Amino acid sequence: MTNTKSLKLGAIGLGIMGAPMAEFLMNAGHPMTVWARTPEKAEFILNQGAAWAQTPAALAAEVDVLFLNVSDSADVEQIVTDENGILAGAHAGLIVIDNSTISARTTRDMAKLLAAKGAHWADAPVSGGQKGAQTASLTIMVGAEPAVYDRIEPLLHHIGKTLTHVGDVGAGQIAKACNQIVVSGTLAAIAEALVLAEGAGVDPARVREALLGGSAHSRMLEIHGARMLNGEYAPGFKAKLHQKDLGIVQQTAQELGLALPGTSLAGQWMNALVGAGMGELDSSALIEVLRRLNGQTSQAD
Amino acid sequence: MTNTKSLKLGAIGLGIMGAPMAEFLMNAGHPMTVWARTPEKAEFILNQGAAWAQTPAALAAEVDVLFLNVSDSADVEQIVTDENGILAGAHAGLIVIDNSTISARTTRDMAKLLAAKGAHWADAPVSGGQKGAQTASLTIMVGAEPAVYDRIEPLLHHIGKTLTHVGDVGAGQIAKACNQIVVSGTLAAIAEALVLAEGAGVDPARVREALLGGSAHSRMLEIHGARMLNGEYAPGFKAKLHQKDLGIVQQTAQELGLALPGTSLAGQWMNALVGAGMGELDSSALIEVLRRLNGQTSQAD
């Protein structure tokens, strides 16, 4: 077991996911330095004793492990390759842990750039949403060289409950893409089932209850099935982020020359959902698109 | 609590589902009379003391509750309306419990025919497959008038673990249709996820493991995800029956004027699966269709 107590940590991106994760890591006893595009977002953690870096380059220069938590492939690319970006300050031995959900291709590109300076990349996208981040119970899917994984595993335990070392760099992002395929496909199937029940004049709550007892059981049916019935669409996981993630999946499938027709359809529902102005709602609001399509009564406010 | 011990029971259809169900009911202490289109299928239960009826009409005439377990709407219709069918022998107070998966429309039609003779219909399709039938742990979705439900509930406990009174006659079949929508949609999503992992050169077993720990968790991922990885396609639930059930769903959606695009797509996969000669395999073999589509290596024997 590596002694990680002495590691100096850094965090870039202090949004609803990044903020609690950085806090847990600092509270575990690590010196913490942060940078955020919106400096106000850092105040809460500076007040608790974190240090502020002027640029991502300055931050990269002074820490051992740098956690990155932003929105998309383009954001990660910019923060790494900018004039004052991570790459400019990277040193041999630095490990960048990217908790963002981005493409496997960008991930591998960034890893190559860092490798030229002797630094390492680990993709570690998470599942579990805001609640998972706030309770350090995230599911974390890691792509990293084995030696790097061994070094960061104790750190990841401070923010996640279920860790899986999926494979080498990029494998974590592929696993996250697979996760979003299953989650969106299951959501869509549950939505179609409830729409059929509603259309047939059968109580959809009773149907959900019956299905929970059998082979149709899923965490989505339990949690998001209830949201669909009650119109409880406070996120949770925002539809616009789910849409973004399915865009990454489609891009990956296109690069690999893979046909994923069901995922493509789920992506269309997310497009319609965001297009209808519901992008800030939980992605379980997907059922509202199917209700619209079928002229059924909305449960949304 | 109704005393059901004195009820005379009948069973029509003694296939892989009907046979163990009839046996559990008889072993619970009820006199049992049976009829089957293929008389040899009744031998096992005649040897245990069940009586044989010459026709469905004769069976209906002498029992209080008749369990029906056949394959499709057309079979049920025939067994009810034939010259020597159930209707010909039905008496006031008879309850027919249909454990087959058929359409809600045929169900309501049959119920009306019986009602004219003072007899009752309860649709009680099941989920849980052969294993669920053999261990009396089926999930049963019931459509019946409340008074009829109260009367049959103690009997259903002998064959099922999770009972839900979904609503009036037909509601059980709608719930079963919803169940098949969720099951097939979830299966298809899991298959697409594993196909992406395989196509991206990432270990699909690790991906499944990672997903099981988070919001993508489902009974299908647990059981059928493993089947897909290992090519373990011994049924389980046969693809040709899943195809038949999705046909019922599509027919119901068409009658109601409902669009269910994801379910329609899942139905196409089942068509391709059966068309490829894999109809006798477990329906988790659906992934083989997606592997074919994407030029990936089959796991089937």
Distance, CA of A95 to CA of B285 (rounded, Å): 41
B141's CB contacts (< 8 A; 6+ apart) are A207, A210, B124, B125, B126, B127, B164, B166, B171, B172, B173, B175, B176, B179
- The one-letter amino acid code at A121 reads W
A5 is catalytic: no
Tokens 């299905």 -> residue:
A211
Residues of A in contact with B219 (CB under 8 A): 214-218
Alpha carbon distance A33, B191 (integer Å): 42
Which of B167, B182, B206 is nearest residue A206 as measured by Cβ atoms? B167
The C-alpha of A85 sits at a distance from chain B's nearest C-alpha, in angstroms, of 29
Looking at residue A266, what is its pLDDT? 98
* pLDDT for the residue numbered B43: 97
Contacts A141 to B, Cβ<8 Å? 207, 210
Compute the Cα dihedral for A69, B213, A106, A119 and give only its sign.
positive
The first and second tokens of residue A78, run together, are 């910019």
Low-confidence ranges of chain B (pLDDT < 70): 1-5, 301
The tokens for A91 are: 């040193």
Pick the residue of B168, B224, B260, B289 with the most A CBs within 10 A to test the interface with A by mutation: B260
Taking a C-beta distance cutoff of 8 angstroms, is the pair B175, A210 a contact? yes
A259 and B202 within 8 Å at the Cβ level: the answer is no
Name chain A contacts of B128, Cβ cutoff 8 Å.
214-215
In the numeric block, which tokens belong to residue B158?
A: 């002998």
Q: What percent of chain A has pLDDT over 70?
A: 98
- Tell me if A223 and B215 make a contact (CB, 8 A cut-off): yes
Q: In the predicted model, what is the mean pLDDT of residues A210-236?
A: 96
- DSSP H helices, chain B, are 18-27, 43-46, 56-62, 73-81, 86-89, 104-115, 129-134, 146-156, 171-199, 204-212, 219-230, 239-256, 261-275, 286-293
Q: At CA B12, angle to CA B10 and CA B16, rounded to 5?
A: 120
Residue A1, pLDDT > 50, answer no
Q: What is the dihedral of CA B96, B97, B101, B105, to 10 degrees?
A: 50
pLDDT of residue B17: 94
- Report pLDDT for B4: 59
The encoded tokens of residue B173 equal 């079949």
Structure tokens at B180: 């098949």
Q: Which of A171, A185, A219 lies closest to B217 in CB terms?
A: A219
What mean pLDDT comes out for the span A218-232? Answer: 97
| Residue carrying structure tokens 């074919």 | B292
Query: Which residue pairs from A275-281 have beta carbons closer than 8 angstroms and sit at least 24 positions apart in sequence?
Result: A278/A233, A278/A239, A279/A238, A279/A239, A279/A240, A279/A243, A280/A235, A280/A238, A280/A239, A280/A240, A281/A233, A281/A234, A281/A235, A281/A238, A281/A239
Q: Which helix (H) or strand (E) holds A34?
A: strand A32-35
- The interface pTM score, or ipTM, of the predicted complex is 0.96
pLDDT value of position B1: 41
The average confidence (pLDDT) of chain A is 96
User: What are the Cα distances from residue B154, in Å, to A182, B4, B88, B235?
Assistant: 38, 7, 27, 30
CA distance B156 to A102: 50
CB contacts < 8 A (A, B): 253
pLDDT value at residue B74: 97
Q: Residue A75: which H helix or E strand, with range?
A: helix A73-81
pLDDT-based confidence at A5, cuts 50/70/90? low
Q: Is B260 helix (H, G, I), strand (E, B) or coil?
A: coil
For A210-222, the pLDDT digits (tens) are 999 999 999 999 9
The pLDDT assigned to B56 comes to 98
pLDDT digits (tens, 9 = 90+) for A146-165: 999 999 999 999 999 999 99
Of A186, A217, A188, which Cα lies nearest the Cα of A291?
Answer: A188
Cβ B96 vs Cβ B72: under 8 Å: no
Contact B215 A197 (CB under 8 A): no
Kind and range of the H or E run holding B278: none
b vs e for A255-276, b when ≥16 Cβ sit within 10 Å of the residue's Cβ? ebebebebbebbbebbebbbee
User: What digits encode the pLDDT tens for the residues A80-122?
Assistant: 999 999 999 999 999 999 999 999 999 999 999 999 999 999 9
Q: Which domains does chain B have, with CATH numbers?
A: 9-168 (3.40.50.720), 175-293 (1.10.1040.10)
Q: Are A210 and B141 in contact (CB under 8 A)?
A: yes
Residues of chain A found within 8 Å of residue B162, distances taken between Cβ atoms:
210, 213-214
Say how many CA atoms lie within 13 Å of A123 toward its Cβ: 30
* Tens digits of residue pLDDT in A270-300: 999 999 999 999 999 999 999 999 999 998 8
The torsion angles phi and psi of A66, rounded to 5 degrees, stand at: -120, 120
pLDDT given for residue B130 in this prediction: 86
Report pLDDT for A129: 86
Closest CA to A227 of A237, A217, A216, A242: A237
